[in-house]
Structure 1
C-alpha cells in the first residue's frame, strides 16, 4: 500500500533528490525520500542501543571518537 502526501522541503534537498534520480541512484524522488525515512527509522533504535551501551560500559573517550570519525570520513560518511 502507498499513500500520497504533500511535504515542503528546502530547495537544496529537492535538488539532492533530483540529482540522485538523474544519476540513477534512485528510481524517483518519492523512492529517494522513502529510503531516507526508512534509514532514519532504523537509526533511531540503534541510538537507543548505544545509549544503553554507554550506560553499561561508559561513553567512548575523545580519542576513540576521533578514530571512529576518521574511519567514517574515509568511508565517505558525514560525522558532524
Structure 2
C-alpha cells in the first residue's frame, strides 16, 4: 500500500533527482525518494542496534567502531544493489511482450 503526499524540495535536489531519472539510475521521483528513505530507515535501525549494544556492553572501541562502520557501508552497498535489481525487474515487467530493451 502506498500513500500519496506532496513534498517540497530545494531546486538543486530536484534537479539532481531529475538527472538520476534521465540517466536511468531511478525510475521516478517517488521511487528514488522511497528508496532513499528505506536506506535511511535501515541505517537508523543499525545505529539503534549499536547504541543498544553499547548500553549493554559499554562503549565500542576504535576497532569495534570500525567494524560497525564497515557493516554500515556494506549494508548501504547491498541496499543500492537491491534497488537496482528491483528497478531492473520493474522495467522488464513493464515492457510489452516482444518489445526490445
Q: Distance in 2 between matches of 1:59 and 1:33?
A: 33
Higher helix share goes to which structure?
2
- In the alignment, which residue of structure 1 is the partner of 2:77? none
- By relative contact order (CA 8 Å, sep 6+), the higher-ranking structure is 2
- In the alignment, which residue of structure 2 is the partner of 1:58? 59
- In the alignment, which residue of structure 2 is the partner of 1:78? none
TM superposition score normalised by structure 2: 0.54
- In the alignment, which residue of structure 2 is the partner of 1:49? 49
- In the alignment, which residue of structure 1 is the partner of 2:25? 25
> Structure 1 residue runs of 4+, over 6 Å off?
none
Count of residue pairs brought into register by the alignment: 67
Structure (1 or 2) with the larger CA radius of gyration: 2
Note the alpha carbon deviations across 1:38-63, whole angstroms, 9 max, x for none: 1111111111111123331533339x
Shift in CA distance, 22/60, structure 1 to aligned 2, threshold 3 Å: farther
TM superposition score normalised by structure 1: 0.65
Structure 2 residue runs of 5 or longer lacking an equivalent are 74-101
SS at match of 1:9: coil
Structure 1 residue runs of 5 or longer lacking an equivalent are 73-80
**What do you get for the CA RMSD once the two structures are aligned?**
2.3
